[in-house]
Amino acid sequence: MNAVNTFSLGALALALVACGGDNSSNELSPSPAPVVSPSAEPEAQPSAEPSVEPSALPSAAPSYTPAPVPSPTASPAPSQVPVESPAPDGSDGFFPTMQGVNKDAWFYVEARSDEFNDDVIDTGKWNHNIADWGPWSWEPDNVWQENNVLKIQMRYEEHNTARHTWAGDGSLKDVELFYKSGILRSRSYQTYGYYEARIKGTATFPGNSPAFWLYSLHADVAAEGLLPDADGEPNYAEVDVVELQQSEWDFDLNQWHGPEVIDMNLHTRVLENNQSLWKRPGTHPELTKNTVHADFDPRDDFHIYGVEVGEDVISWYLDGVKVAEKANIYWYLPMRVTLSLGLRRPHVSYNCAGVYQGFDRCPVPSEATQEGFPTVMEVDWVRVYERN
């Protein structure tokens, strides 16, 4: 059930991890191939990492190789897209920002939407105090609202944490980490609907990934009576509305992706022969992977990133224009609406050795730097809808 696929390219051994989360399940379950991992809400057990650590944040970082530095020229010229949001102003209600939308078909879901125009986070609606996921260390003070936007910051801060290894004896090790970041997750869940957010990326690239995504918690799946009891049924669902600035490896061009490359992927774990197996972009691209090349640099301006999760089809939108689509085979579980800033190469590796031996992912002390940090992503609003 390993999410790590190893591609050998001559002398280059690039371990491509679909999207970072996969390994998480291992972190709590050191034993080989757990069936359905016993899971707990992260905040319920602060000492433990989530059994199914979602993946959007950690993403497909090719693990450590002599990294060609992404050429600055790869970034397209600043976008010509108007900064002005094409979204409705709210005077007659909010509707999905999609071309040709039928307003009669949708209603706005206040419980999972926010304009972020107040000075404080609505903690009745959102949880921003979530237990750490290994090298992704969440701190509530890295998330705040200011000037009508939500800000999520990643900062350089050396700290130590105790983590269970997932390979070998599963022992608890005290390890040094270098960055702390922030996350905001809805307290309620939804499955089908339209989800969109107006986001500006971080100035720093590469090294971090602003993400807007939906993922299922074990407790919610259980509460809905949707835990799998037959082969082919999922026990985890994740829809990445968008992951920006991931800087993954382009196998066609033999270089790292520039900041204009946007990922809109799916992740799931499906019961097969009594094992819960990952299906992710690295292993199942036809099922889960969308790579979109924008004609703008997401660091320069706000843009609207959206997805419609339908019963048969999942469709992704960029500034109201449909840019990708997948069949919806497994994504029918309840999911939480999430915004976060995840660590990326060169600050995280999937080839862990030395003091980090036994972990599926680990920091890279030789690359740790304060330069470029703190760095901040901004979210003007997040709006969620359901079909009438």
Q: Which residues bind Ca ion (CB under 5 A)?
A: 115-117, 148, 380-381
CB of 271 to Ca ion, least distance (A): 41
Nearer to Ca ion, 108 or 332 (CB): 108
Nearer to Ca ion, 6 or 117 (CB): 117
Options 22, 49, 196, 243, the catalytic residue: 243
Instruction: Please say if 238 is a catalytic residue.
Output: yes
CB of 154 to Ca ion, least distance (A): 21
Instruction: Please say if 139 is a catalytic residue.
Output: no
CB of 114 to Ca ion, least distance (A): 8
CB of 379 to Ca ion, least distance (A): 8
Options 238, 248, 308, 360, the catalytic residue: 238
CB of 378 to Ca ion, least distance (A): 9
Nearer to Ca ion, 82 or 225 (CB): 82
Instruction: Please say if 233 is a catalytic residue.
Output: no
Options 240, 248, 263, 380, the catalytic residue: 240
**CB nearest Ca ion: which residue?**
148
Nearer to Ca ion, 240 or 380 (CB): 380
In SS3 terms, the chain reads as CCCEEEEEECCEEEEEECECCHHHHHHHCCCCCCCCCCCCCHHHCCCCCCCCCCCCCCECCECCCCCCCCCHHHCCCCCCCCCCCCCCCECCECCCCCCCCCHHHEEECHHHCECCCCCCCCCCCEECCCCCECCECECHHHEEEECCEEEEEEEEEEEEEEEECCCCCCCEEEEEEEEEECEEEEEEEECCEEEEEEEECCCCCCCEEEEEEEECCHHHHHHCCCCCCCCCCEEEEEEEEEECCCCCEECCCCEECCCCEEECCEEEEEEECCEEEEECCCCCHHHHCCEEECCCCCCCCCEEEEEEECCCEEEEEECCEEEEEEECCCCCCCEEEEEEEEECCCCEECCCCHHHCCCCCEECHHHCCCCCCCEEEEEEEEEEEEEC
Nearer to Ca ion, 197 or 270 (CB): 197
Active site residues: 238, 240, 243
